[in-house]
Chains A and B, each alone.
Chain A
Amino acid sequence: MRHLLTTEGLAADDATALLDTADELKRTLLGREVRKLPTLRGRTVVTMFYENSTRTRVSFEIAGKWMSADVINVSASGSSVGKGESLRDTALTLAAAGADCVIARHPASGAAHRLAGWLAEAGTSVVNAGDGTHEHPTQALLDAATLRERLGGLKDRRIAIVGDVLHSRVARSNVHLLATLGAEVVLVAPPTLLPVGVRSWPVTVSHDLDAELPALDAVMMLRVQAERMHGAFFPSAREYSIAYGLNEARLRLLPEDAVVLHPGPMLRGMEIGSAVADAPRSAITEQVRNGVHVRMAVLYHLLAGDGADRD
């Protein structure tokens, strides 16, 4: 693997290898005093975040540091990015300065692919940490790792993704990865929050959450920004919450052992009830914990080998 840009097109074998590595890393580090591996000593990883996201950036930073990589954080406000330097120039500068891997979060869909193109010659790996409303592959991988752990596997498991699918890179990455790993995916949202052409995705579509809940193995609640109602995507936060929020009453419709996921940051009371988020079947803190191991696995697969198996 040279880059991790999308889960669309990620082969089942590669995805499974990443998840297996993440599992091993988790086991290896479990209960250890020294959570530090020498594997990526001397390798330089740059996180380049053009959008605020403390949780994702910190997760990558910890992952890099636990693998002994030198991790440098570049943010839009504290660098020449704020002075209007182009993404291309910033990336080339970082590569020239010795970055082995660039982890990029950018508001433009496709930005990670552009970076990979610009950095091809430098040989720098690119990890997409979220590009616009396109993809967020490590989030999908950590969700899959969490679901594998909780459900024992993903094959033929029925998983609903609920909420603002239209604007969600998490949803896109999850749809492709979960389908690749053999799960059945149901998208549940009002028609206004589903992308045009969603019927061509490897999913089924529903507008009725209550009808879906009893048959689910897991439900993934997406964050819904209240501002969306200004684009007339839904009438009000209240109406959204009534129809698509996962409250305690709805939780009872889920099978006992079904898992609740949320990629965060949560809007408690909007898409997810506070008690639901903290319920034992909620895997939300595990998602965060698994995020570090998944990102370690990604860095391991991109940076540890000799590159002979790169694309």
Chain B
Amino acid sequence: MAPRPRGATEPAAQRELLSAGDVARTIARMAHQVIEKTALGAEQEPPPVLLGIPTRGTPLAARLAARITEFSGVDVPAGALDVTLYRDDLRRRPTRPLEQTQVPGTGIDDRVVVLVDDVLFSGRTIRAALDALRDHGRPRSVQLAVLVDRGHRELPIRADYVGKNVPTSRSEDVSVRLAEVDGHDAVLLRAGREDAR
């Protein structure tokens, strides 16, 4: 095996797309967009339900919900929706452990559900999430919020709320770091594994 080019996976090859401050500002902006688009606060409208897709979608959904509540004064329920059991690529990888699913007590029937994920890439995770949602109930509508949209969709799926659009090459790797999981907030772009080979 040829030696790996040094530095290919070292921090030097990373570029920071969003700093911790950028992440916070982006989430705040997305919260305003959700409030606007879902007409939150209108009397007859029940608030949307935010469902994060584990691992990092879950804390993102919680943060987004907190911001929305802060800005609108309306309690927005947030939960988690693990899509592992609905993936179409299970047999391409070793068995994955299941992540937590936590649907808020309000349920999702006839509610607007906002799926929240960190990075939108091929769209397959979101397809799995739509299948999973169907087994939990019948939302009135489903929307999608992502922190980063990096392109390269393989399915006809688009996000309703995008924190940052980042043109990438397929071999690059977008890595979202969140304090709840990683100890700090940041979004990094790294030269991918294929480049390193």
CB within 8 Å of B: which residues of A?
A: 1, 17, 20-21, 24-25, 27-28, 32-34, 36-39, 67, 300-301, 304-306, 308-309
* Cβ–Cβ contact B86 & A306, under 8 A: no
Q: How many residues of B contact A (CB 8 A)?
A: 20
Does residue B82 face the partner (Cβ distance < 8 Å to A)? yes
* Cβ–Cβ contact B94 & A24, under 8 A: no
A304 to B97, CA, bound (A): 11
* Cβ–Cβ contact A309 & B95, under 8 A: yes
Main secondary structure of the interface of B (DSSP, over half): loop
A21 to B82, CA, bound (A): 12
* Cβ–Cβ contact A28 & B101, under 8 A: yes
Residues of B131-147 whose CB lies within 8 A of A = 131, 134-137
CB within 8 Å of A: which residues of B?
A: 82, 85-86, 90-101, 131, 134-137
User: In the complex, how many angstroms separate the beta carbon of A292 from the nearest chain B beta carbon?
Assistant: 15
User: In the complex, how many angstroms separate the beta carbon of B102 from the nearest chain A beta carbon?
Assistant: 8
Please, could you name 17 A-B residue pairs with CB atoms under 8 Å apart, sorted by A? A21-B98, A24-B100, A24-B101, A28-B85, A33-B137, A36-B135, A37-B85, A37-B86, A38-B86, A38-B131, A39-B86, A67-B85, A300-B95, A304-B96, A305-B91, A306-B94, A308-B94
* Cβ–Cβ contact B136 & A32, under 8 A: yes
A275 to B92, CA, bound (A): 51
Find the A residue at minimum CB distance from B102. Answer: A27
Find the A residue at minimum CB distance from B138. Answer: A33
- Supplied contacts A17-B97, A305-B90, A306-B92, 8 more A-B pairs, CB within 8 Å: A24-B99, A39-B90, A300-B85, A300-B95, A304-B91, A305-B93, A305-B94, A306-B90
Chain A contacts of B137 at CB under 8 A?
33
A33 to B135, CA, bound (A): 7
Name the one of B82, B93, B134 contacting A306, with C-beta atoms under 8 angstroms: B93
* Cβ–Cβ contact A306 & B91, under 8 A: yes
Chain A contacts of B95 at CB under 8 A?
1, 300-301, 304-305, 309
Chain B contacts of A39 at CB under 8 A?
85-86, 90
A81 to B86, CA, bound (A): 37
A67 to B141, CA, bound (A): 27
Find the B residue at minimum CB distance from A20. Answer: B97
* Cβ–Cβ contact A28 & B82, under 8 A: yes
With A32-B136, A38-B131, A39-B86 as known contacts, state yes or no: A27 contacts B101, CB within 8 Å.
Answer: yes
User: Which of B85, B131, B135 has the largest number of chain A CB atoms within 10 A?
Assistant: B85
User: In the complex, how many angstroms separate the beta carbon of A107 from the nearest chain B beta carbon?
Assistant: 31
A37 to B136, CA, bound (A): 11
A24 to B99, CA, bound (A): 7
User: In the complex, how many angstroms separate the beta carbon of A18 from the nearest chain B beta carbon?
Assistant: 10
A309 to B91, CA, bound (A): 11
Chain A contacts of B135 at CB under 8 A?
32, 34, 36-37
**Which 5 pairs of residues, A with B, have the shortest CB-CB distance?**
A305-B95, A309-B94, A24-B98, A39-B85, A37-B85
User: In the complex, how many angstroms separate the beta carbon of A11 from the nearest chain B beta carbon?
Assistant: 14
Find the B residue at minimum CB distance from A37. Answer: B85
Find the B residue at minimum CB distance from A17. Answer: B97
Find the A residue at minimum CB distance from B137. Answer: A33
* Cβ–Cβ contact B91 & A38, under 8 A: no
Find the B residue at minimum CB distance from A296. Answer: B85
